[in-house]
Amino acid sequence: MSVNSGGANFSRRDFLERLHAVGGTALLMAGMSALGFGIEAQAATPPDLSGGNGKKVVVLGTGMAGLASAYELSNAGYDVTVLEARDRVGGRSYTARRGTVLTELGGERQVSDLDEGYYFNPGPWRIPYFHHAYLHYARKFKVPVELFNNDNDHSYIDFEKGSGPLGGRPVRKAEIAADTRGYAAEMLAKQVRQGALDAQFQPGDKELFLDYLRSEGYLTADDFRYIGTEGRGPAVYPGAGLEAGKPSTPYALSDILHSQTWRVLKSVSDLDMQRTMFQPTGGMDQLPAGFVRNLKPTIRLQHVVEKIAQSPDKIDVSYVDASGQRGTVSADYCVCTIPLSVLRNIDLQVSPTFKEAIGGVSYALVGKIGLQMKTRFWEENHQIYGGHVYVDDPMIGTISLPSTGWLGEKGVILGYYPHGSAAARVSAMSLAERKAFAVAAGQKIFPEYAANTESAFSIAWHRVPFNMGGWAEWSEEGRAKYYPTLLEPDGRLYLAGEHLSYLTGWQEGALESAWQQIAKLHKRAVAA
Amino acid sequence: MKLAHSIAMTALLGALSLAGSALAAPTGAVLFAQNCSACHQAAGQGVPGAYPALAGNTFVRGDPKTVASVVLHGRGGMPSFSDDLSNADIAAVLTYVRSSWGNHASAVDPAVVAAARGHSGGAHSGSSVLPGH
């Protein structure tokens, strides 16, 4: 059976082989899923690197890409040296706990005073179901994951730019969703029943389409009216004895439209923003810790790369360590996972084309703040269990409620998540000002917010040494002009990281890029 | 540096508290503290190897339209400010930068920013629902 009925000689197998050649195992698996082979995520595996022959590889950086490269290459018999600039592993896969220290460039020294047992993920925080490589390692290293609630109908929308009675105040998302979609279904049903759309239907379609509209919008059975529905939240909840509950009244359509709150509604979530996602139990640093538990080579912490030089038969990486001692590691190959925003300031012996390509990408400005709350008032008083509060102030971005520690004593809220120029403005504030800014925004949603706020931990990734940005942001021009150059080695230097994927800003991009690059390196090493 | 920063922030907070008043047009210095100082630092000195210094920077003192274009559209690690700042705001902040910390370049006219923008746009902000990752 052929995939493309027009191409008789192009079999499903040919297609899969080509997919594998282009995108490695992960793309192969995605292709097999798409073709109905029923291959599940657990089948996605790292490349086969058998026969490594003890060649020397130096891996730079211990984020996801560096750890995966070091782990796979050393298991395959390569002699691997790992250099890490910081005094910790994980890169952006990072968790702030009590005592975590962070000093941004040009910023104050910040020491986290979160309570013992509480944490905040300042970087990545949620994992989509199709991130096979991440889930592969979580499974392999027995890092437990839990569900991350990425959308909650019982949470609030507060759109300050909206007008009318529903603008500028917290409204439950379920009310907006039920009413907007109910009215839309009602209006469409009316048109269909009047015959306005008869030309659109095949025989038998019309009745089925009306059934769909009745179901979609909770319309009345006989005359297709929207009069509200239980799921938007009743006026009085049903209870014991004589309490049967009391239905609520829908908002006026015009009020909803002018409030702008309908902007949060979509037929389905984006591919990488499913309503339920995963998070590693206990913090994002748990997967890096899993790698370290299982890694053969020792990681040399606080080794800052100053120079990468190449000769026909080796590559030399010069570093300075925490005590100021300089040294050089010579190897057959180098896998460099240093972000391009940092790499462009390092002395590199590469071709002018390669050097230019490294400078051909922008890095995202992005900020986050964690706020430790002394009670879980959003659960106790508002019955909101995880998910996000939807706001329209770009300097706040989103306020998110923790998907862990349910019904417990305290919790850490994500107080803001701005991007771009909004993140630049937030990051210009002192630590105390950032906290005050975030608390003032949350207070508009929850009257308990300010009184419950204890400690804060904030980050502006564009000011973090050794990161200099949240993630790579390729323009269309950059993808065409520079990106392909960086996918190929320059001499003995291979780059890997989220920046060399179409999953930029995701740990999965880093892992799949590492798999792709070490497969290339291995192919060359066994041929040499 | 610390002192300069806190002075800038005092000015910033003052401007924020006046934000409701139609009379309060933010000055170039306030706009700089709000939008630029996180990276380029309070006295425009930058951070070596990370963010370029604006003090003594020949590019910044050069053709106003080219400089305005970078503020509007971003470059490298610098974001686009086209949706956040009006032509008048960008003209004010560039005039401030071009005449501070030893820089002595001409003031920037909002019309030049408008020309760099391609159309005479004012500041507006779209609602961003859950951006990011």
Summarize pLDDT for A412-432 with one digit per residue, the tens: 999 999 999 999 999 999 999
Residues of A in contact with B131 (CB under 8 A): 397, 417, 419
CB contact under 8 A, A462 and B49: no
Q: pLDDT confidence of A42, banded at 50, 70, 90?
A: very low
- Residues A347-368: pLDDT tens digits? 999 999 999 999 999 999 999 9
> How much is the pLDDT for A325?
98
Mutation pick from A92, A93, A104, A105 vs chain B, by most beta carbons of B within 10 Å, is: A105
Answer with the residue of higher pLDDT: A1 or A107.
Answer: A107
Residue of B nearest to A357 (CA): B76
Kindly state the average pLDDT of the residues A155-173: 97
User: Given A362, A365, A388, which is nearest B130 (Cβ)?
Assistant: A388
Alpha helices in A329-419 (DSSP H): 340-343, 352-358, 377-380
Asked if pLDDT for residue A23 goes beyond 80, the answer is: no
Q: Do A427 and B80 touch (CB under 8 A)?
A: no
**How far is B35 from chain A, CA to nearest CA, in Å?**
5
Q: SS3 of A58, please?
A: strand
How far apart are the C-alpha atoms of B35 and B28, rounded to whole Å?
10
Rounded to the nearest integer, the mean pLDDT of chain A is: 93
Q: How far is B82 from chain A (nearest CA, A)?
A: 9
Predicted local confidence at residue B7, as pLDDT: 47
Instruction: Please list every residue in chain A whose beta carbon sits closer than 8 Å to the beta carbon of residue B20.
Output: none
pLDDT at B25: 67
Nearest CA in chain A to B125: A394
Minimum CA–CA partner of A107 in chain B:
B38
Contact state of A428 with B83 under an 8 Å Cβ cutoff: no
Q: How far is A228 from chain B (nearest CA, A)?
A: 26
Q: Chain A within 8 Å of B9 (Cβ-Cβ)?
A: yes
pLDDT digits (tens, 9 = 90+) for B64-88: 999 999 999 888 888 899 988 999 9
State the smallest CA–CA distance between residue A101 and chain B in angstroms.
19
Closest CA to B34 of B68, B98, B81, B1: B81
- Taking the Cβ of residue B73 and every Cβ of chain A, the question of whether any pair is shorter than 8 Å is answered with no
Mean pLDDT along residues A363-379: 97
Share of chain B above pLDDT 90, in %: 59
What's the CA gap between A192 and A216, in Å, rounded? 15
Alpha carbon of B129 to those of A157, A176, A413, A418, A468: distances in Å?
A: 10, 15, 18, 11, 25
Domain ranges for chain B, please list them.
Answer: 26-117
Mean pLDDT of B28-53: 94
Q: Is residue A403 scored above 50 in pLDDT?
A: yes
List, for residues A288-297, the tens digit of each pLDDT value: 999 999 999 9
- From the list B6, B33, B125, the residue facing A394 with the nearest CB is B125
Question: What's the pLDDT at B16?
Answer: 46
d(CA B64, CA B79): 18
pLDDT one-digit tens code per residue, A226-246: 999 999 999 999 999 999 999
Distance CA A365, CA B109 (A): 28
Distance (Å) from the alpha carbon of B86 to chain A's nearest alpha carbon: 13
Q: How far apart are CA A186 and CA A35, in angstroms?
A: 38
Contact A424 B39 (CB under 8 A): yes
CATH placement of domain B26-117: 1.10.760.10
> Do the Cβ atoms of B129 and A425 come within 8 Å?
no
When pLDDT is averaged across residues A297-318 and rounded to a whole number, the result is 97
pLDDT band at A489 (very low <50, low <70, confident <90, very high): very high
Are B77 and A462 within 8 A, CB to CB? yes
Q: Which of A161, A362, A388 faces B127 most closely, judged by CB atoms?
A: A161
Query: With bands split at pLDDT 50, 70 and 90, how would you rate the model's confidence at A19?
Result: low
What's residue A2's pLDDT? Answer: 37
Which residue from A minimizes the CA distance to B85?
A: A421
Confidence at A215, pLDDT banded by 50, 70, 90: very high
CB A325 within 8 A of CB A90: no
Shortest distance between the Cα of B90 and any Cα of chain A, in A, equals 13
* Most confident stretch, A17-21, A318-322, A473-477: A318-322
Chain A residue numbers touching B31 (CB-CB < 8 A): none
Q: Is residue B122 over pLDDT 70?
A: no
Give the per-residue pLDDT at A448.
98
Query: Cα–Cα distance between B133 and B35 in angstroms, integer?
Result: 23
A–B CB contacts, 8 A cutoff, strictly below: 101
Q: What is the pLDDT of residues A107-153, one digit of tens each?
A: 999 999 999 999 999 999 999 999 999 999 999 999 999 999 999 99
Structure tokens that stand for A222 in this block = 């006989």
Q: Cβ of B38 and A362 within 8 Å?
A: no
Which of these, A408, A340, A373, A398, lies nearest to A125 by C-alpha position? Answer: A398
Interface test with B, best of A161, A392, A421 (most B CBs within 10 A): A421
pLDDT of A257 higher than 60: yes
The stretch B5-18 carries a mean pLDDT of 46
CB contact under 8 A, A428 and B34: yes
